[in-house]
Structure 1
């Protein structure tokens, strides 16, 4: 799949010096048998395969080595309750103790043990989601940095690629024709981002956005008049089960499967202001490093 996008050199450089440089680039391209367009982003099949394989490995190993350790916590809690009953029985004195109270106390011990294990399992699911999302985020930024570095100066652009939030990067790619925001994986990736932020930072703007957009990730929460507490929400209501984790994994994987193999520059689209500004050291616009790679 090929998506046609716009280089900053075509749509942003307006002064006469840069226009002269563009003419020089086009002349060089014609001499090489190229058109005005050149390859802006390229995802080689081997790199796509490697990225997806790493994501698969992370998810599968996290399930088996981390989350899988909590598969039998009900049985473990029952065993803990029986052991508690046996320990209490060793000190049982019918003249002073009530057998029913001993059994109830042992049961409470088992319930408490189950709640502790269940809470730990929830924290492990959050941690796996966070690691998976951050790895995806870094891979995307590294790929953009490497590919854009073929045609543009990276002294300031690199900083911006790593500084912008993921929404700004998606806006940039959508401006180049990717249509990410209408893809089925978009909302799940957005929800994953917010869940991870709430897990890490607690209350704040991410919690507010999560409540507004994806309330299913908040325990005992519903918007509107049906919620007896109004729209009040706490960070400790955050919840994510294994099905939700799988949904996030499949969305991140679907993104990399969707990324076009090639993105070709043209004069048809737009670029964000932060991108253009990153190519304007000391208030002056700069030209691309070179004319670009020929599009295959």
Structure 2
């Protein structure tokens, strides 16, 4: 109320939905037993133990966002205030590694992002790949503030006008703590590498990596079959490797050496041959 007549910036960070997963009374019950994404249903983890609480916490957070919207409306600020809702990571419930995030998979890296306000009132979805590093530049641009040349990321405002020619065709992913890893995602392919022997809590990068994952997101959107090392996709892996190295250099890292994965048949993401996995999953 005290700032409604002056420009203001408010950053509100909610811990939920986050471990420990304990939804408010009555919220878990609404979602327990509901739809489970195929990747979370396929791989062993803690999905069924926590998903009801997780969805319930998301619902409660959505209601809290609604109260902010109501406050803006009551102060007659809706038409001149930009509201951005996003998250810093997803949740895979231990299906991809020993924790709940910090992997290259969609369940870890794909996050909700919605923007409303001046310049963002046309509705619809952006189909291009957008990274969280693009959001600060977007907010500055929308507020009429020049984006510093040294700032990484790009404003998405040109995308809203249909100006897509210069937009990057991939997003770059850095993975810490669970591993020292790097990945790149295009519309169709996901390619990820890991630095063997490096501690993700103490070391931020490496000069040497090995290939770990390759996914065809068009044929396998839930990343159930790891294609790294498959002979017929060597050219795809080589192209993705060069694109990843280029993006690493652009962010200030030294040019790394990336060792190719050995030849093998397609695997599921837990390292079991796909044939064995299919047999196991049907038992």
**Same-fold status (TM-score > 0.5):** no
State TM-score, norm by structure 2: 0.30
Query: Higher helix fraction: Structure 1 or Structure 2?
Result: 1
State TM-score, norm by structure 1: 0.29
Query: Higher strand fraction: Structure 1 or Structure 2?
Result: 2
Q: Please tell me whether Structure 1 or Structure 2 has the larger radius of gyration of its CA atoms.
A: 1
